[in-house]
């Protein structure tokens, strides 16, 4: 009896009393408009979020309260640079919530994206050498090869229908995704999906189906169920859980064999004194994991190796392909910028390179140097990832009570302004990291912040140049210890692809209106044709020098 009373008292305290002490309730913030309503849609959906952020900051200041899921879920949304820097740099105090980690883990395993604490530290340490400049060198010829393959494919598609004059409408989103999958397949674990050629490869289909199912099919209810009661689908499998199971079995079988095969090669190399030369991420991970200077307790298991290969597939393919896709769209919408960029690229390599297989190490290196130092190319990529960050926003949970320092005044719900220069947050509260919100903030970037203006980077406003972020003062690759490990990788990939595609093709918009939708990542859809799935058709025609 006493036990039941205690339990009830505890539940009542958790549900009724504790939320009343939640310091976030003191903050100003939008009215959710009902007990079971939420403020998430306006801040999560890229079709409305820029305006929502602006309006909220105007009314409630840069640190405000929003309602998440359900009446007890008050969250902090901060657009204060000092606060977001504090949260992202203090990664042990602000972890990823177990709910999102569970969701990622259920699909790709507990790799670097999902792990926390010591487990994450160990994985990140083992993986870091794989992303060194030295090891990324091999990426240049690989991307060049795949870019050329894609170029040949498109050329073939265009000429098969004699469309050289008018150009052919191509869903660049779909094709670039096939190409970036190919790149991460070879760079990730020395495996040829050959997805540019056809989509029949078993492992390719497994990854593709799994990622697609995860993003498109799960209803909100089944997502919640799979977080809070994952055993449910073990007993009552549905289409989604069946697909994920099937894909995971294929991946475990095929990729598992690859891992064992690599391990053998590395061991043989160590014995024979002729070290194995593989430079793919998997080989480098395995090598770094057996390095003599790595203490025994810092090594990671085969299971963790597989989880991280999955993580690279998941984190490294769609993000890069969407960035490329959005960049081509922006260039199609801004033909002058496209012409200028093409001129810069043609000028950088006057003798069009057609085949990298016969370039030597030095020549490849110098090609990378040249691509790295083209000012307009760099400006356009910075502008593109600022304007359309594939990761729209992220979320953290406070693991302790904390005072988050603020740079801007904090407005309270009663209309007053807090005098202390911080926001109090209690253990367990969520913090929204508005990646896009920061990237598009007019107060920092200027009144044209929502427009495509690559030249802004030649003369950045003081306020923007002080923003935290791993790349170009944007939060596109996040910041701090949990920021993107693949940033340099994707830069090489994006620049090389852009070089190949823009020197061979001209891109024009179609009549379709393109809208952005946040489906795990910010993806393109045609307005009114949401059910046809993510796509971005552009008119692609061969670039003919004399005509332009």
Ligand X SMILES: *[C@@H]1O[C@H](CO)[C@@H](O)[C@H](O)[C@H]1NC(C)=O
**Residue ranges in contact with ligand X by CB under 6 A:** 86, 89-90, 93, 133, 136-137, 194, 197-198, 200, 239, 368-369, 372, 402, 492
- Only segment of 265-273, 399-407, 479-487, 532-540 that touches ligand HEM (CB under 6 A): 479-487
- Residues 526/535, Cβ–Cβ less than 8 Å: yes
Query: CB-wise, 309 or 367, nearer to ligand X?
Result: 367
Round to whole Å and give the CA distance between 490 and 513. Answer: 28
In the list ligand X, ligand HEM, none, the entry touching 200 (Cβ below 5 to 8 angstroms by class) is ligand X
- Residues 385/472, Cβ–Cβ less than 8 Å: yes
DSSP notation for 271-335 = HHT------SHHHHHHHHHH-TTS-GGG---HHHHHHHHHHHHHHHSHHHHHHHHHHHHHHHH-H
Query: CB-wise, 33 or 237, nearer to ligand X?
Result: 237
Task: Give the nearest distance from C-beta 91 to ligand HEM in angstroms.
Answer: 9
Task: Give the nearest distance from C-beta 544 to ligand X in angstroms.
Answer: 29
- Residue 524's beta-bridge partner residues? 516
In the list ligand HEM, ligand X, none, the entry touching 239 (Cβ below 5 to 8 angstroms by class) is ligand X
In the list ligand X, ligand HEM, none, the entry touching 422 (Cβ below 5 to 8 angstroms by class) is none
Query: CB-wise, 276 or 477, nearer to ligand HEM?
Result: 477
What six digits make up the tokens of 18?
């504790």
Round to whole Å and give the CA distance between 130 and 152. Answer: 31
3-state secondary structure of 31: coil
- State in Å, rounded, how far the first CA of the chain is from the last one: 86
CB atoms within 10 A of CB 18: 13
Helix, strand, coil % over all residues of the chain, rounded to 5: 55, 10, 30
Query: CB-wise, 179 or 484, nearer to ligand HEM?
Result: 484
Task: Give the nearest distance from C-beta 129 to ligand HEM in angstroms.
Answer: 14
What six digits make up the tokens of 277?
């030369």
Residue 175 sits in the site that holds ligand HEM (CB under 6 A): no
The tally of CA atoms less than 13 A away on the side-chain side of residue 204 is 21
Round to whole Å and give the CA distance between 391 and 521. Answer: 5
Residue 477 sits in the site that holds ligand HEM (CB under 6 A): yes
Query: CB-wise, 237 or 461, nearer to ligand X?
Result: 237
What six digits make up the tokens of 68?
């998440």
In the list ligand HEM, ligand X, none, the entry touching 369 (Cβ below 5 to 8 angstroms by class) is ligand X
Task: Give the nearest distance from C-beta 445 to ligand X in angstroms.
Answer: 24
Residue 476 sits in the site that holds ligand HEM (CB under 6 A): yes
The tally of CA atoms less than 13 A away on the side-chain side of residue 100 is 13
List binders of ligand HEM among 294-333 (CB under 6 A): 311-312, 315-316, 319-320, 323
In the list ligand HEM, ligand X, none, the entry touching 500 (Cβ below 5 to 8 angstroms by class) is none
What one-character DSSP code corresponds to residue 97? P
In the list ligand HEM, ligand X, none, the entry touching 482 (Cβ below 5 to 8 angstroms by class) is ligand HEM
Round to whole Å and give the CA distance between 422 and 504. Answer: 53
In the list ligand X, ligand HEM, none, the entry touching 197 (Cβ below 5 to 8 angstroms by class) is ligand X
- Only segment of 46-54, 137-145, 335-343, 481-489 that touches ligand HEM (CB under 6 A): 481-489
Query: CB-wise, 413 or 470, nearer to ligand HEM?
Result: 470
Round to whole Å and give the CA distance between 239 and 408. Answer: 48
In the list ligand HEM, ligand X, none, the entry touching 289 (Cβ below 5 to 8 angstroms by class) is none
Residue 384 sits in the site that holds ligand HEM (CB under 6 A): no
In the list ligand HEM, ligand X, none, the entry touching 320 (Cβ below 5 to 8 angstroms by class) is ligand HEM
Nearest residue to 411 via CA among 74, 78, 14:
78
247 annotated to a ligand binding site: no
Query: CB-wise, 26 or 89, nearer to ligand X?
Result: 89
In the list ligand X, ligand HEM, none, the entry touching 90 (Cβ below 5 to 8 angstroms by class) is ligand X
The correct pick among 110, 113, 172, 196 for binding ligand HEM (CB under 6 A) is 113
Phi, then psi, of 411 in degrees rounded to 5: -90, 140
Q: Which residues contact 420 (CB under 8 A, 6 or more apart)?
A: 403, 410
- Only segment of 22-30, 219-227, 475-483, 507-515 that touches ligand HEM (CB under 6 A): 475-483
The correct pick among 122, 456, 482, 523 for binding ligand HEM (CB under 6 A) is 482
Handedness of CA 51, 56, 59, 62 (dihedral sign): negative
Phi, then psi, of 461 in degrees rounded to 5: -60, 145
- Residues 201/195, Cβ–Cβ less than 8 Å: yes
Query: CB-wise, 316 or 537, nearer to ligand HEM?
Result: 316
C-alpha gyration radius of the chain = 25
Q: Which residues are annotated as a binding site?
A: 484
Question: Which residues of this chain interact with ligand HEM, rule CB under 6 A?
Answer: 112-113, 124, 311-312, 315-316, 319-320, 323, 390-391, 394, 476-478, 482, 484-486, 489-490
Q: Which residues are annotated as a binding site for heme?
A: 484
């Amino acid at each position: 009896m006493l036990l039941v009373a205690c339990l009830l008292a505890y539940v009542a305290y958790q549900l009724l009393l504790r939320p009343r002490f939640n310091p976030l309730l003191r903050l100003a913030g939008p009215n959710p408009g009902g007990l079971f309503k939420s403020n998430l849609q306006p801040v999560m959906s890229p079709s409305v979020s820029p305006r929502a952020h602006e309006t909220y900051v105007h009314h409630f200041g840069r640190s405000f309260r929003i309602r998440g899921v359900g009446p007890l879920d008050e969250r902090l949304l901060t657009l204060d640079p000092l606060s977001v820097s504090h949260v992202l740099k203090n990664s042990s105090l602000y972890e990823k919530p177990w709910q999102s980690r569970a969701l990622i883990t259920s699909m790709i395993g507990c790799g670097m994206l999902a792990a926390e604490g010591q487990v994450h530290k160990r994985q990140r340490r083992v993986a870091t050498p794989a992303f060194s400049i030295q090891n990324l060198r091999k990426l240049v010829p690989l991307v060049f090869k795949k870019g050329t393959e894609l170029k040949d494919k498109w050329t073939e598609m265009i000429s098969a229908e004699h469309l050289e004059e008018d150009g052919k409408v191509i869903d660049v989103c779909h094709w670039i995704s096939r190409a970036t999958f190919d790149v991460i397949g070879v760079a990730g674990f020395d495996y040829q999906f050959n997805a540019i050629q056809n989509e029949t490869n078993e492992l390719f289909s497994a990854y593709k189906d799994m990622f697609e199912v995860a993003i498109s099919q799960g209803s909100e209810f089944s997502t919640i169920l799979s977080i809070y009661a994952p055993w449910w689908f073990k007993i009552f499998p549905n289409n989604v859980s069946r697909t994920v199971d099937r894909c995971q079995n294929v991946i475990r079988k095929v990729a598992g064999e690859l891992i064992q095969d690599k391990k053998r090669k590395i061991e043989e190399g160590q014995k024979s004194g002729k070290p194995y030369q593989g430079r793919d991420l998997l080989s480098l991970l395995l090598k770094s994991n057996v390095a003599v200077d790595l203490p025994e307790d810092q090594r990671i298991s085969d299971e963790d190796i597989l989880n991280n290969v999955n993580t690279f597939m998941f984190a490294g393919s769609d993000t890069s392909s969407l960035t490329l896709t959005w960049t081509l769209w922006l260039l199609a919408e801004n033909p002058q910028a496209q012409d200028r960029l093409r001129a810069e690229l043609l000028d950088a390599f006057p003798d069009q390179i057609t085949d990298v297989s016969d370039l030597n190490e030095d020549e490849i290196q110098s090609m990378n140097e040249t691509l790295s130092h083209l000012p307009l190319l760099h400006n356009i990529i910075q502008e593109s990832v600022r304007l359309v960050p594939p990761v729209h926003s992220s979320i953290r949970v406070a693991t302790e009570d904390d005072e988050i320092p603020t740079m801007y005044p904090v407005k309270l719900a009663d209309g007053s302004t807090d005098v202390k220069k911080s926001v109090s947050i209690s253990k367990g509260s969520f913090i929204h990291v508005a990646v896009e919100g920061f990237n598009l903030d007019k107060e920092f970037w200027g009144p044209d912040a929502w427009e495509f203006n690559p030249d802004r980077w030649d003369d950045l406003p003081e306020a923007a140049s002080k923003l935290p972020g791993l790349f170009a003062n944007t939060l596109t690759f996040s910041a701090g210890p949990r920021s993107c490990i693949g940033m340099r990788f994707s830069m090489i990939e994006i620049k090389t692809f852009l070089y190949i595609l823009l020197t061979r093709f001209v891109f024009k918009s179609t009549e379709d209106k393109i809208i952005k939708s946040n489906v795990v990542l910010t993806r393109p859809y045609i307005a009114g044709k949401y059910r046809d799935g993510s796509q971005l058709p552009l008119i692609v025609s061969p670039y003919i020098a004399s005509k332009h």
